[in-house]
A and B are shown apart, each in its own frame.
Chain A
């Protein structure tokens, strides 16, 4: 296997829930420093794919290597190098922001934890809320703290499942800055999104997932944003301009 050349390598990945097929024979490989955005309508299998990549689920068949680790076997080692952010924040409501980070920091055995917490909490702009309980936070603040939680162990690879959910305009901008910084630092990122503009702005690779098939994947330097959008609408059959008149 050529798993050494690629930091993420997926071969013939199939996932079934009972007899319902959610992912069909997905092949995917990413080099270090890639930022892949997975586009696709609801129910395309984006979340399932992210969960399998982050080893929360096992594939029904096929293999996944992340940084050389098989997701079925080297989970502990794998978990040290990945950071996951989803619309679910993984935060404990009754604990303060600081305590949440302290807990996750201890689990990842972060060195100089006190300074590291200061650092990440500053990075997401929550320095003044260090000792407030998470349940008093707004959805956007919780999502920011969730970002701090995911980066506390300085992972090499990020899996982001709709990370913009619940963030206000300001939060989105901040988060984009953080993502750009990671990209420039050479971190590998896989992100799902249904927002074409935001996604395309950041990514180096764009892919379309539809009904469990990876129908399209291209380096964004080879294709203009408008062309990609045309392809996306062609594949998914969605309206060109989303109509928000409810």
Chain B
């Protein structure tokens, strides 16, 4: 119980802090908006045979702007010197990890809701009938992304060339997840049978569980000096 309260305290602190300036949320949303626009030009999505790309565009928008949030998750703590304060609190490394990870997850979900609404309008796709399966896929994808991203954010925050390093670490590891997300989203958006997404769902769940477990086992090593 105490553990959950402490984790929640970290999440609350990140959210309260962000709501003061809304700097990060706004830039994340704006960025994903821009991605949607730019891809519209590069792929001319009005053409029927290119519709397959649309689920990919959605995830590129999610992941690239999610990366902005990730970079700041530990980056800000380090720049402002609050990381040591956090590490000195009586909570296990896993607790710190969970707190930061849930924070990133929530910011990403807010950005994704915004992006989806813009997406619906710009690409003229009605997502209302698919809201449930799509929500599930987005939940699993965002969780997986926040899971590995928080680990790498804690790493890259201490290195030179922080943002570049974060992308280089996150992308190769997230490949199976991205494939599964794009395919599953494609099946859902074009009215495929729900059974078709099961194999992808399995991969997503496996990915999330495996890396959550690994984060649990290794996060203590990352924050020690």
B-binding residues in A (CB < 8 A): 51, 54-58, 76-77, 79-80, 82, 84, 86, 88-95, 99, 103-104, 106-109, 133, 149
18 additional A-B pairs beyond A103-B9, A108-B90, beta carbons within 8 Å, are: A51-B225, A57-B224, A58-B224, A76-B90, A88-B84, A90-B82, A90-B88, A92-B80, A93-B80, A94-B16, A95-B17, A99-B13, A103-B12, A103-B13, A107-B89, A107-B91, A109-B5, A109-B90
Smallest CB separation, B50 vs chain A (Å)? 43
Supply 30 A–B pairs (Cβ within 8 Å), ascending by A.
A51-B225, A55-B88, A56-B87, A56-B225, A58-B224, A76-B90, A76-B91, A77-B90, A79-B90, A88-B84, A90-B82, A90-B86, A92-B17, A94-B17, A94-B20, A95-B13, A95-B20, A99-B13, A99-B16, A103-B9, A103-B12, A106-B9, A107-B6, A107-B10, A107-B90, A107-B91, A109-B5, A109-B6, A109-B90, A149-B85
Chain B positions within 8 Å of A107 at CB level? 6, 9-10, 89-91
Residue of B nearest to A93 (CB): B80
What 1/0 flags go to B83-105 for Cβ under 8 Å of A? 01111111110000000000000
In the complex formed, the residue of A with least CB distance to B89 is A107
In the bound complex, residues from chain A placing their C-beta under 8 Å from that of B90 are 76-77, 79-80, 107-109
B84–A90 CB distance below 8 A: yes
**Do A104 and B89 form a contact, CB below 8 Å, given A57-B225, A89-B81?**
yes
Q: Does B2 contact A (CB under 8 A)?
A: yes
Min distance, Cβ B218 to any Cβ of chain A, angstroms? 16
Partner of A94, one of B21, B81, B88: B21
- Asked if A79 contacts B82 (CB within 8 A), the reply is no
**CB of B223, distance to nearest CB on chain A (Å):** 10
Minimum CB–CB distance for B13 against chain A, Å: 5
CB distance from B148 to the nearest CB of A (A): 25
Inter-chain contact B92/A91, CB cutoff 8 Å? no
**CA gap between A242 and B204 in the complex, in Å:** 65
Question: Counting chain B CB atoms within 10 Å of each CB, which of A76, A84, A93, A103 scores highest?
Answer: A103
Q: CB distance B5 to A95 under 8 Å? A: no
> What 0/1 readout, one digit per residue, does chain B (5-30) give for beta carbons within 8 Å of chain A?
11001101100111011000000000
